């Protein structure tokens, strides 16, 4: 692991951004969620101990690339740009970028976003795609998805583009918001490892498969997604 000197059990250091329920978020002082529990189960299969490092979302790829973390687990979408910096494991979940608007909004789908102010979490695929499709000048970037949603409730942006499960959580925590049925794009989530570390990719892929086959993964998901 990234810092296993002097410890009995080797540590698997996971980089994440714990602002993304139900995948990773704080419950008191503890980081919990689908990714946190799944990564802990993977570490256990590998005979290692998981250590979670919370950081800004847009630092995760470079933390893995630079060896500060062994693995990036953060509802991370497999994408061509990131593949230049890191390798990805097999996909373990499907996510969707959805559009959140206020209940009284006239925005009914992606076409209506043209010329509107769109809030996103900095460095996410939602940020990348909306920037490409609607122009940099229309995008407001926030450190946390929740901050983008807050600015929507305050009328500072017209819509938020973010992954579907966090969207559901944030909308349930704020009055007067809705998720549009027309989703923006579908994506695959996978874990990021240092480029060329085929050994770790293989081990993690084997663990993902085993934990999916024996029902552990579904059990973890069922705990967090009702
Ligand atoms: N799936 C999106 C992406 O990979 C958003 C992930 C955000 N994750 C987080 N832990 N904040 O860009």
DSSP conformation letters of 76-128: PBP-HHHHTTEEE----EEEEEEEEEETT----SGGGGTTS-EEEETTSHHHH
Q: ipTM, 2 decimals? A: 0.98
Q: What is the pLDDT of residues 64-116, one digit of tens each?
A: 999 999 999 999 999 999 999 999 999 999 999 999 999 999 999 999 999 99
CATH superfamily of 95-186: Periplasmic binding protein-like II (3.40.190.10)
The CA distance from 58 to 61, in Å, is 7
User: What topology is assigned to 11-92+190-224 in CATH?
Assistant: D-Maltodextrin-Binding Protein; domain 2 (3.40.190)
Q: What is the pLDDT of residues 156-203, one digit of tens each?
A: 999 999 999 999 999 999 999 999 998 889 999 999 999 999 999 999
End-to-end CA distance of the chain: 34
The CA distance from 86 to 76, in Å, is 12
Beta bridge partners of residue 120, listed in sequence order: 141
- Does the CB atom of residue 20 touch ligand 1 within 6 A? yes
- Does the CB atom of residue 65 touch ligand 1 within 6 A? no
Pairing, β 71-72 against β 192-194: antiparallel
Pairing, β 49-54 against β 11-16: parallel
- Does the CB atom of residue 76 touch ligand 1 within 6 A? yes
Q: Where in the chain is the domain with CATH 3.40.190.10?
A: 11-92+190-224, 95-186
The CA distance from 104 to 107, in Å, is 9
**Ligand 1 midpoint to CA 102 (Å):** 22
- Which residues, including other chains, have CB under 8 Å from residue 116's CB and lie 6 or more apart? 107, 134, 138, 158, 159
pTM: 0.94
Nearest CA to ligand 1 atom 5: 124
């Amino acid at each position: 692991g990234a810092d296993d000197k002097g410890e009995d059990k080797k540590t698997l250091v996971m980089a994440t951004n714990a602002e993304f329920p139900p995948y990773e978020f704080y419950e008191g002082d503890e980081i919990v969620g689908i990714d946190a529990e799944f990564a802990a189960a993977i570490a256990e299969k590998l005979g290692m101990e998981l250590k979670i490092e919370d950081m800004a979302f847009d630092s995760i790829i470079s933390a893995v690339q630079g060896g500060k973390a062994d693995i990036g687990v953060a509802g991370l979408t497999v994408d061509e740009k990131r593949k230049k910096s890191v390798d990805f494991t097999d996909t373990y979940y499907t996510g969707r970028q959805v559009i959140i608007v206020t209940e009284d909004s006239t925005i009914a789908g992606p076409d209506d976003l043209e010329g509107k102010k769109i809030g996103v979490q900095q460095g996410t695929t939602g940020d990348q795609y909306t920037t490409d499709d609607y122009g940099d000048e229309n995008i407001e970037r926030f450190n946390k998805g929740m901050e983008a949603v807050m600015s929507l409730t305050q009328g500072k942006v017209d819509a938020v583009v973010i992954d579907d499960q966090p969207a559901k959580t944030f909308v349930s925590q704020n009055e007067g918001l809705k998720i549009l049925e027309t989703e923006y794009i579908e994506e695959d989530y996978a874990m990021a490892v240092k480029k060329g570390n085929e050994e770790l990719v293989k081990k993690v892929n084997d663990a993902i498969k085993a934990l999916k086959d024996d029902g552990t993964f579904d059990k973890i998901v069922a705990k967090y997604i009702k």
